[in-house]
C-alpha cells in the first residue's frame, strides 16, 4: 500500500486534484459539500499531505536552519529551546547543526540547507567566520539572521544582547562594593564578544578613576577547570585582587572553586560575578551573582525575524538587543 496522493483522494470522491488541493490549502471557493467529501476521503485513505512536493512547486519553504557553535553549552541550548518553541508554533521545522566553531562545517551545513531548499538560517557564527562568506550566502537571496554574535555592522539582521553594557553592570556592582582590584577571567582572544565585554569593563573602571591593569585580564576556554587554573595563577601573582569577573558563569564556577581551594571564602575574601545566569548559578554555594541575558528570548526573536524575512519582508536590516540584567546573589558579599 503505497502512500495515498492527492490524485487518489481526487479519484476516490470524483473531483479533480485541483479541487483537493484547494480544500487542503483553504484556497479558492469550494462548496461545503465538496469540501466535506474530500476531507472524508482524506481520512479514509490515510492521506498525508506532501509538504515537500508543495514547496517544490510554489518555491517556498517552511524549513529553517540553525547553526550553533556548541549545543552542549547551556546558554545555547536555552536559545535553541526558545527558537524551536517558536518555530513549532508557526508550523515550521528546524534543521540543527552543531558547527563546533568550525568554519568548514558551518559552510557545509549552509550548502546542505540550500540544496535541501530551506528558507533561511539563523546563525551563531563560528568565531572565525568571515564576512564575505555570509555576504555571498545572503546575496543569493538566502535570508540570514545572526544571533548572539554580531558580525558586520548593518548588513545583517541581528539579535542578541549588549555585552558592553553587561560588563558595565558587573563592574559597577563591584566598584560600588568598594573593590579596586578587579580581574577579568575568561573568553578567547579572538572573540569579538569578549572584546565588547572588555570594553564595558575597562570603561567602567576609567569612569571611576580606577587604574586599569592589563595583567588582571586573562583569557581561557569555557570550562570550570580552565577557569580554576587561570584563577590560581592570577591570585598567586596578584594577591591584591579582591574581585573577579568570569567571562561566563561556567568559568566563574571554576573561579569560585579555585578561591575555595586556596582556603579563601567567596563573597568575603574575594567577590565573583559571572555572565549568562545559567540555571546552576542560583544553586551554587554561594549562589553566583551574574549578568542575565535571556537566551530563550533571543532564540524566539531570531525565529520571528527569520520567518518574516522568508515571507518576503524587505525592511532594512535591524538589530534586536535585549539589555542584560544584573542578578544579585551572594557571591559578592
- Which residues lie near DNA (CB under 7 A)? 2-3, 5-7, 14-19, 21-22, 24-25, 27-31, 33-35, 48-50, 53-54, 56-59
- Answer yes or no: are the C-beta atoms of 193 and 75 closer than 8 Å: no
321 vs 53, 87, 90, 156, 302, CA distance in Å? Answer: 38, 20, 23, 14, 11
- Answer yes or no: are the C-beta atoms of 218 and 185 closer than 8 Å: yes
Please, which residue, 64 or 167, has the CB nearer to a copy of itself?
64
Please, which residue, 114 or 262, has the CB nearer to DNA?
114
Please, which residue, 71 or 326, has the CB nearer to a copy of itself?
71
Among 224, 232, 325, 329, binds a copy of itself (CB under 8 A): 224
How many angstroms separate the CA atoms of 216 and 202, rounded? 11
DSSP 270: B
Cell output for 152: 558586520
Contacts with a copy of itself: how many residues (CB under 8 A)? 50
103 vs 149, 158, 181, CA distance in Å? Answer: 14, 19, 38
Task: Work out whether 7 is an interface residue with a copy of itself (CB under 8 A).
Answer: no
Cβ neighbours of 309 (radius 10 Å): 20
How many angstroms separate the CA atoms of 185 and 121, rounded? 32
Please, what is the minimum distance in Å from the beta carbon of residue 331 to DNA?
56
DSSP 216: G
Task: Work out whether 265 is an interface residue with a copy of itself (CB under 8 A).
Answer: no
Cβ neighbours of 200 (radius 10 Å): 23
How many angstroms separate the CA atoms of 124 and 79, rounded? 10
- Answer yes or no: are the C-beta atoms of 182 and 245 closer than 8 Å: yes
Helix, strand or coil for residue 264? coil
Please, what is the minimum distance in Å from the beta carbon of residue 181 to a copy of itself?
26
Please, what is the minimum distance in Å from the beta carbon of residue 10 to DNA?
7
Please, what is the minimum distance in Å from the beta carbon of residue 48 to a copy of itself?
5
Residue 14: contacted member of DNA, a copy of itself, none (CB under 5 to 8 Å, by partner type): DNA
Say how many Å lie between the first and final Cα of the chain, rounded. 70
Among 101, 280, 297, 304, binds a copy of itself (CB under 8 A): 280
Residue 207: contacted member of a copy of itself, DNA, none (CB under 5 to 8 Å, by partner type): none
Among 40, 44, 111, 240, binds a copy of itself (CB under 8 A): 111
- Answer yes or no: are the C-beta atoms of 167 and 245 closer than 8 Å: yes
Please, what is the minimum distance in Å from the beta carbon of residue 166 to DNA?
45
Residue 244: contacted member of DNA, a copy of itself, none (CB under 5 to 8 Å, by partner type): none
Q: Count Cα neighbours of 46 within 13 Å in the Cβ-side half-sphere.
A: 3
Cell output for 198: 572588555
Task: Work out whether 283 is an interface residue with a copy of itself (CB under 8 A).
Answer: yes
Largest CA distance in the chain: 87
How many angstroms separate the CA atoms of 235 and 246, rounded? 14
Please, what is the minimum distance in Å from the beta carbon of residue 304 to DNA?
23
Please, what is the minimum distance in Å from the beta carbon of residue 308 to DNA?
19
Residue 95: contacted member of a copy of itself, DNA, none (CB under 5 to 8 Å, by partner type): a copy of itself
Helix, strand or coil for residue 176? helix
Please, what is the minimum distance in Å from the beta carbon of residue 118 to DNA?
14
From 43-51, 159-167, 175-183, 325-333, span contacting a copy of itself (CB under 8 A): 43-51
Q: Which residues of this chain interact with a copy of itself, rule CB under 8 A?
A: 3, 46, 48-53, 55-56, 63, 71-72, 74, 77-78, 80-81, 84-85, 88, 91, 93-98, 105, 108-109, 111-117, 140, 223-225, 253-254, 257, 260, 279-280, 283, 285
Amino acid at each position: 500500500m503505497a502512500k495515498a496522493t492527492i490524485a487518489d483522494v481526487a479519484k476516490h470522491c470524483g473531483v479533480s486534484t485541483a479541487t483537493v488541493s484547494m480544500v487542503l490549502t483553504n484556497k479558492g471557493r469550494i462548496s461545503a459539500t465538496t469540501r466535506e467529501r474530500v476531507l472524508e476521503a482524506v481520512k479514509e485513505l490515510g492521506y498525508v499531505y506532501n509538504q515537500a512536493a508543495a514547496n517544490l512547486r510554489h518555491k517556498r519553504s517552511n524549513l529553517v536552519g540553525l547553526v550553533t557553535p556548541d549545543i552542549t553549552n547551556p546558554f545555547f541550548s536555552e536559545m535553541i529551546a526558545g527558537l524551536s518553541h517558536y518555530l513549532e508554533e508557526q508550523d515550521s521545522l528546524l534543521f540543527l547543526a552543531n558547527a563546533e566553531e568550525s568554519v568548514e562545517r558551518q559552510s557545509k551545513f549552509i550548502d546542505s540547507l540550500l540544496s535541501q531548499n530551506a528558507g533561511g538560517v539563523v546563525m551563531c557564527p563560528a568565531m572565525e567566520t568571515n564576512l564575505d562568506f555570509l555576504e555571498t550566502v545572503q546575496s543569493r537571496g538566502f535570508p540570514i539572521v545572526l544571533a548572539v554574535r554580531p558580525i558586520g555592522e548593518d548588513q545583517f539582521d541581528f539579535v542578541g544582547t549588549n555585552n558592553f553594557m553587561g560588563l558595565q553592570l558587573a563592574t559597577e556592582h563591584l566598584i560600588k562594593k568598594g573593590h579596586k582590584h578587579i580581574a577579568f577571567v575568561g573568553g578567547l582572544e579572538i572573540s569579538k564578544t569578549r572584546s565588547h565585554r572588555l570594553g564595558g569593563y575597562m570603561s567602567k573602571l576609567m569612569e571611576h578613576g580606577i587604574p586599569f591593569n592589563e595583567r588582571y585580564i586573562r583569557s581561557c576556554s569555557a570550562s570550570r577547570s580552565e577557569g580554576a587554573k587561570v584563577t590560581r595563577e592570577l591570585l598567586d601573582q596578584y594577591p591584591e585582587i579582591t574581585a573577579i569577573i568570569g567571562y561566563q558563569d561556567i568559568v566563574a564556577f571554576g573561579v569560585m572553586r579555585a578561591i575555595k581551594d586556596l582556603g579563601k571564602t567567596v563573597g568575603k575574601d574575594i567577590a565573583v560575578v559571572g555572565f549568562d545566569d545559567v540555571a546552576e548559578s542560583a544553586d551554587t554555594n554561594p549562589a553566583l551573582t551574574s549578568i542575565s541575558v535571556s537566551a530563550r528570548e533571543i532564540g524566539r526573536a531570531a525565529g520571528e525575524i527569520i520567518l518574516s524575512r522568508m515571507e518576503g519582508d524587505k525592511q532594512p536590516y535591524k538589530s534586536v538587543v535585549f539589555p542584560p540584567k544584573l542578578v544579585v546573589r551572594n557571591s559578592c558579599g
